[in-house]
Chains A and B, each alone.
Chain A
Amino acid sequence: MANGENVKKSSSGSWKNLIRNQCFIPIAALLLLAVFNLIADPSFFKITLGYNSAGDPVLSGFIINIINNGSELAILAIGMTLVTAASGGQDISVGAAIAIAGSVILRVLCGGNARPETLQAPIIVAFLVACVVAMLFGAFNGVLVAYFKIQPMIATLILYTAGRSIAAWINNNELPVISDPKFAYFGGFIPGIPIPTPCFIAIACMIVIGIVLKVTNLRLYTQAVGINQSSSKLNGLNPELIKVMAFVILGLCVAVAGLIKVSRVSSINYSVIAKDIEMDAILAVALGGNALSGGKFSMAASIIGAFVIQFLTTTLYKFGVPATALPAYKAVVVILLVIVSAPTVREYFDTMMKKMKLKKEVA
């Protein structure tokens, strides 16, 4: 045993720990993208202070775009990480659920009238109603997964298929438009503050989940259930309940993302809103090096993963890749990133490094 300790400590500890850290790959990807842009066109990083039509100061630039547009994805990545960890599967209905949440918000604000002069209810009330609805749909998914033991992807396929129709039905298939400028604050700018509001909302969500993970056993419980359900049960946990909880938390994230989405356009397009965002959210979890089969997770790595995806999308747009070709380009980069951050590959590099060190030791 004493020998063993020596082997371990003689390594260049900090460097190795850095590489081992789950956040290493997504951060490295971010840096790589940044360096690429810096070389290709340094103006990518230019941030300008301008004034919008209302005469308020706003910051603009690609970097601002990334942080702004990546907000919803980052928020969803939080919930998706928990669902993945606890259930060992993914929720593919978040895009459709965002349509529902957004639709609910508009319905409450408009009160049935598609073009209201004034808001029919306070925005906070509309948001809270949307939270409840989204969490109920989350619970629905969760119950299917936890109690009926349906594979998460199949269970959420139901809402994925039906969600956008439900969203349209909520507003009688009309497309309400909100004219009150206050509602646009959540997806745009608060007068006088030049930083986009979604950034603040995303940061708030990160702080909240950070605190929750700190002051509760959410991490331990979800991980334990995701790794060994049978054992968790014998330790007094209720695995079913914990899985449902993960889906409900994702529902909450969906409601927040939905608010931002509908606020951005002050309206809704049922078939387009948050389209394919579930795939990006799952990708963010994978890019963060989290096993999609559940178990241990790193929340920070997932969130960084979300911004990597947004960074990539924006970079591709910037270089004039047409919107129709974008997914193909994205796929190439994503494949590389996912392979590099896969646990098996990381393990392989780990053993490689160890072997190299051993050789050095022997020599």
Chain B
Amino acid sequence: MEDNIVLKMRNIHKIFPGVRALQGVDFTLRKGEIHALMGENGAGKSTLIKVLTGVYGKEDGEIFLDGTEGPVAIHSPQDAQNMGISTVYQEITLCPNLTVAENMFIGRTKGTVQNWKKMNADTDRILQSLEVPAKAAQQLGTCSLAVQQMIAIARAVDMECKVLILDEPTSSLDEQEVEKLFKLMRDLRAKGVGIIFVTHFLEQVYEVCDRITVMRDGKLVGEYEIENLPRVQLVSKMLGKEVDDLSDIKSEVKTFDAGKDAVPVLEAEGLVSNAGIKPFDFHINKGEVNGFTGLLGSGRSECVRAIFGADRVTGGKVKMKGKDVKIAKPLDAMKNGIAYLPEDRKVDGIVGDLSVRDNIILAQQVLKGFFKPFSKAEANKVADEYIKLLNIKTASKDTPIKSLSGGNQQKVILARWLFTHPEYLILDEPTRGIDVGTKVDIQKLVLKLASEGMSVTFISSELDEMLRTCSRLIVMRDRKAVGELTGDDLNQGTVMNTIAGGDK
């Protein structure tokens, strides 16, 4: 093996029932580099990572590691860890109720006697050397998400890893936290660790990475030096076609005129829930797309959850088309033609073990009532229709939804709500953690639905996306609505200023 190469994967094959997930994929990681692994959902990134970390076996192919003669056999995550391959996942997999030091050393202490003093001292030393702002004796749960993420990385580093895999580590962090994480990554790079960085954020890739490997449909597209691959090209390689889609959508005009005497589809006054938001006013017209924006934790989701009755509503009035309605629980909202795609797909969206078909019909079935189940034939027809309409990639409509990729799961949830034929659709972070292609699909779909007369509220952490789709933005700060932007004010600068509280 060449000197500076730390990991080499050659001709990796992996087959799942009905899908060839990996077809002859090569991957090379050098010492002291941050290497982005890019691809749409379902491209095979996660599968490749899981083969590397021993979560999945592989059908064919070889893995070489620096310092080992010949191919290595990785049968379990434990094997991978022993060989110096450490993974930090999107969801933090440490224990929040233990101390930082306990988390650092859990599962890797030898012998039965634990020297707590030494453990704490060691932890403090490691954290200091990596400049992680945490103390050994602190409970992990009291650290911010970013620090927890860093502790997970510190733990990996302390296990003398040669290969560090970061699987979507930034998706739940805000900008400053991401910066801290990047600094840590750069420090580690300087120490010679090879880092594999899986993310959906293009900006972050260009900020921190040295090299990019692109995958598509379970195959390798290529490996590129970062400076030789402009963004547009990266996107087009990921999608496998020349795309002007992104710019297309951008040029569309986003002004909205409801007309003079238009009655809002939904109008809320002083609405407040038990989730800790200040009372807010809100309205949306037929065919309008608006959005809530603001930093993480500013109360965006809490607002729409209050509208949908997902949290307990404690005050305020809601009118639909001028008539007073009472929305105390989700079913009330659904009966009034409101649909809500929740922020956390895994926890609030999918019903994992149920089939794609059952997941699609669920909401409409509940509306229809306990004693009126859809016949199998009806359900199949509906499922086929939406799988085709939204281009959902699934082995069949009987496949459990949990085995689909993230973007396709999201499409199924979207299908579920479209099937209820709502007048008012709330999309809370519909594009989080999904691939560029699906993102564009969803944005286009939102605009199309609006043009057909549906009202849509769209929430996204990506401002670009919001500006591209919404004609009116409600800005949230500290759980309070602080501004409403329309027309010419809909640009990055004004929005940022409003979010920051910027009266200059």
Chain A bound to chain B: yes
* Complex CA distance for A172 and B269, rounded to whole angstroms: 61
Contact for A228 among B20, B352, B373, CB less than 8 A: B352
* Complex CA distance for A8 and B17, rounded to whole angstroms: 7
- Once the chains bind, are B362 and A235 in contact (CB under 8 Å)? yes
Residues of B within 8 A of A228 (CB): 347, 350-352
* Complex CA distance for A227 and B351, rounded to whole angstroms: 6
Interface code A1-39, partner B: CB below 8 Å = 1, 0 otherwise?
101110110000000000000000000000000000000
Interface code A190-229, partner B: CB below 8 Å = 1, 0 otherwise?
0000000000000000000000001111101101100110
Residues of B within 8 A of A217 (CB): 365-366, 369-373
Q: Which residue of B lies closest to A225 (CB)?
A: B351
Q: Which residue of A lies closest to B42 (CB)?
A: A1
* Complex CA distance for A4 and B350, rounded to whole angstroms: 24
- Once the chains bind, are B362 and A224 in contact (CB under 8 Å)? yes
Known: A5-B18, A8-B17, A220-B358. A233 touches B330 (CB 8 A): yes
Residues of B within 8 A of A227 (CB): 351-354
- Once the chains bind, are A220 and B373 in contact (CB under 8 Å)? yes
- Once the chains bind, are B370 and A354 in contact (CB under 8 Å)? no
Task: Verify if B272 is at the interface (C-beta below 8 Å from A).
Answer: no
Task: Verify if B232 is at the interface (C-beta below 8 Å from A).
Answer: no
In the complex, chain A residues 130-145 whose Cβ is within 8 Å of any chain B Cβ: none
* Complex CA distance for A259 and B342, rounded to whole angstroms: 48
* Complex CA distance for A354 and B16, rounded to whole angstroms: 9
- Once the chains bind, are A235 and B363 in contact (CB under 8 Å)? yes
* Complex CA distance for A216 and B371, rounded to whole angstroms: 4
Residues of B within 8 A of A216 (CB): 370-371, 373
Task: Verify if A161 is at the interface (C-beta below 8 Å from B).
Answer: no
- Once the chains bind, are B351 and A231 in contact (CB under 8 Å)? yes
Q: Which residue of B lies closest to A237 (CB)?
A: B366
Q: How far is the CB of A195 from chain B (nearest CB, A)?
A: 34
Q: How far is the CB of A237 from chain B (nearest CB, A)?
A: 6
Task: Verify if B59 is at the interface (C-beta below 8 Å from A).
Answer: yes
Residues of B within 8 A of A271 (CB): none
Residues of B within 8 A of A232 (CB): 351
- On chain B, the number of residues with a Cβ less than 8 Å from chain A's Cβ atoms is 36
Residues of A within 8 A of B229 (CB): none
Residues of A within 8 A of B347 (CB): 228, 230-231
A sample of 12 cross-chain residue pairs with beta-carbon separation below 8 angstroms, ordered by A number, consists of A5-B18, A7-B18, A214-B373, A217-B366, A220-B365, A223-B353, A224-B362, A227-B354, A228-B347, A233-B330, A236-B330, A296-B354
Task: Verify if B395 is at the interface (C-beta below 8 Å from A).
Answer: yes
Contact for A224 among B19, B351, B371, CB less than 8 A: B351
* Complex CA distance for A232 and B354, rounded to whole angstroms: 12
Contact for A223 among B59, B354, B366, B393, CB less than 8 A: B354
* Complex CA distance for A358 and B358, rounded to whole angstroms: 31
Q: How far is the CB of B421 from chain A (nearest CB, A)?
A: 15
* Complex CA distance for A3 and B19, rounded to whole angstroms: 7
Q: How far is the CB of A271 from chain B (nearest CB, A)?
A: 40
* Complex CA distance for A358 and B60, rounded to whole angstroms: 11
Interface code B329-353, partner A: CB below 8 Å = 1, 0 otherwise?
1110010000010100001111111
- Once the chains bind, are B351 and A7 in contact (CB under 8 Å)? no
Task: Verify if A363 is at the interface (C-beta below 8 Å from B).
Answer: no
Task: Verify if A95 is at the interface (C-beta below 8 Å from B).
Answer: no
Most buried by A among B329, B366, B395, B416: B366
Which chain A residues have a beta carbon within 8 Å of chain B's beta carbons? Answer: 1, 3-5, 7-8, 214-218, 220-221, 223-224, 227-228, 230-238, 295-296, 354, 358
Known: A4-B18, A8-B395, A215-B373. A236 touches B352 (CB 8 A): no
Task: Verify if B367 is at the interface (C-beta below 8 Å from A).
Answer: yes
Most buried by B among A1, A218, A233, A354: A1
Contact for B20 among A7, A231, A295, CB less than 8 A: A7
- Once the chains bind, are B349 and A231 in contact (CB under 8 Å)? yes
* Complex CA distance for A236 and B369, rounded to whole angstroms: 10
Q: How far is the CB of A212 from chain B (nearest CB, A)?
A: 10
Known: A217-B373, A220-B373. A236 touches B367 (CB 8 A): yes
Q: How far is the CB of A360 from chain B (nearest CB, A)?
A: 13
Q: Which residue of B lies closest to A291 (CB)?
A: B353
Residues of A within 8 A of B348 (CB): 230-231, 234
Residues of B within 8 A of A295 (CB): 353
Q: Which residue of A lies closest to B59 (CB)?
A: A358
Q: Which residue of A lies closest to B341 (CB)?
A: A234
Most buried by B among A214, A216, A230, A295: A230
Q: How far is the CB of A337 from chain B (nearest CB, A)?
A: 23
- Once the chains bind, are B370 and A221 in contact (CB under 8 Å)? yes
Residues of A within 8 A of B363 (CB): 235-236
Task: Verify if B226 is at the interface (C-beta below 8 Å from A).
Answer: no
* Complex CA distance for A236 and B354, rounded to whole angstroms: 17
Q: Knowing that A216-B370, A234-B342 touch, tell me 20 more A-B residue pairs with CB under 8 angstroms.
A: A7-B15, A7-B20, A8-B17, A216-B373, A217-B365, A217-B366, A217-B372, A220-B358, A220-B365, A224-B362, A227-B354, A228-B350, A230-B347, A231-B350, A234-B349, A235-B330, A235-B362, A236-B366, A358-B15, A358-B59
- Once the chains bind, are B395 and A4 in contact (CB under 8 Å)? yes
Most buried by A among B18, B342, B349: B18
Residues of A within 8 A of B330 (CB): 233-236
* Complex CA distance for A223 and B354, rounded to whole angstroms: 8
* Complex CA distance for A296 and B401, rounded to whole angstroms: 13
Residues of A within 8 A of B352 (CB): 227-228
Task: Verify if B474 is at the interface (C-beta below 8 Å from A).
Answer: no
* Complex CA distance for A329 and B372, rounded to whole angstroms: 47
Q: How far is the CB of A246 from chain B (nearest CB, A)?
A: 13
Interface code B307-320, partner A: CB below 8 Å = 1, 0 otherwise?
01010000000000
- Once the chains bind, are B20 and A235 in contact (CB under 8 Å)? no
Residues of A within 8 A of B366 (CB): 217, 221, 235-237
* Complex CA distance for A296 and B398, rounded to whole angstroms: 13
In the complex, chain B residues 351-386 whose Cβ is within 8 Å of any chain A Cβ: 351-354, 358, 362-363, 365-367, 369-373
* Complex CA distance for A4 and B370, rounded to whole angstroms: 37
Give the top 3 A-B pairs by smallest Cβ distance, nearest first. A236-B331, A236-B366, A4-B18
- Once the chains bind, are B18 and A8 in contact (CB under 8 Å)? yes
Residues of B within 8 A of A4 (CB): 18-20, 395
- Once the chains bind, are B15 and A224 in contact (CB under 8 Å)? no
Contact for A234 among B18, B20, B310, B395, CB less than 8 A: B310
* Complex CA distance for A215 and B375, rounded to whole angstroms: 9
* Complex CA distance for A4 and B308, rounded to whole angstroms: 40
* Complex CA distance for A138 and B354, rounded to whole angstroms: 27
Q: How far is the CB of B121 from chain A (nearest CB, A)?
A: 40
Q: How far is the CB of B202 from chain A (nearest CB, A)?
A: 26
* Complex CA distance for A233 and B372, rounded to whole angstroms: 19
Q: Which residue of B lies closest to A294 (CB)?
A: B353
* Complex CA distance for A346 and B373, rounded to whole angstroms: 30
Residues of A within 8 A of B15 (CB): 7, 354, 358
Most buried by B among A223, A224, A358: A224
* Complex CA distance for A144 and B373, rounded to whole angstroms: 29
* Complex CA distance for A231 and B370, rounded to whole angstroms: 18
